[in-house]
Amino acid sequence: MSLLPESSGLLPYWLLVVVAFSLLNTVQCYNSVHFARRTFNGPRSEAEVTPFAGRLFGSWSFLSGLVRLYAAYHINDKHLYFLALSTYLIVLSTFAGELLVYGTLKVGKGLAPPLFVATTSVVWMITQWSFYVD
């Protein structure tokens, strides 16, 4: 197996970049709740973003990063492609719920990076489905 994905196109490399940030986020969330609170910074976040919640967020980041890593190297496998796409859809739906229902998010600089990555990835993966998946 090559260090870099052997498939054509840029999406596999994008997935690898996102994986790197997922791993960094995992380490940060396990070391301090501060990093989770930068994202989850809504009016109700102080009480709800606990060290346990931060570690749980870190575990989610690790798991989704693992799925995306496999998808980057097997981008033509429709099942892995769908799973990777699903991780971004889950993130978007989670953020929508936390913003609109639970009040642990607010629109701002903490939400911008993950929202940009998830939205960009969803649009890219949906529009490029036929290019990568048989």
Distance CA 34, CA 16 (A): 25
Task: Look at residues 53, 1, 3, 8 and name the one whose alpha carbon lies nearest to residue 29.
Answer: 53
Distance CA 89, CA 83 (A): 10
Encode the chain (134 residues) as per-residue pLDDT tens digits.
678 888 889 999 999 999 999 999 999 999 998 878 888 888 888 888 889 999 999 999 999 999 999 999 999 999 999 999 999 999 999 999 988 999 888 888 888 899 999 999 999 999 999 999 97
CB atoms within 10 A of CB 107: 10
pTM score, whole prediction? 0.91
Task: Look at residues 119, 14, 114 and name the one whose alpha carbon lies nearest to residue 60.
Answer: 114
* Amino acid at residue number 30: Y
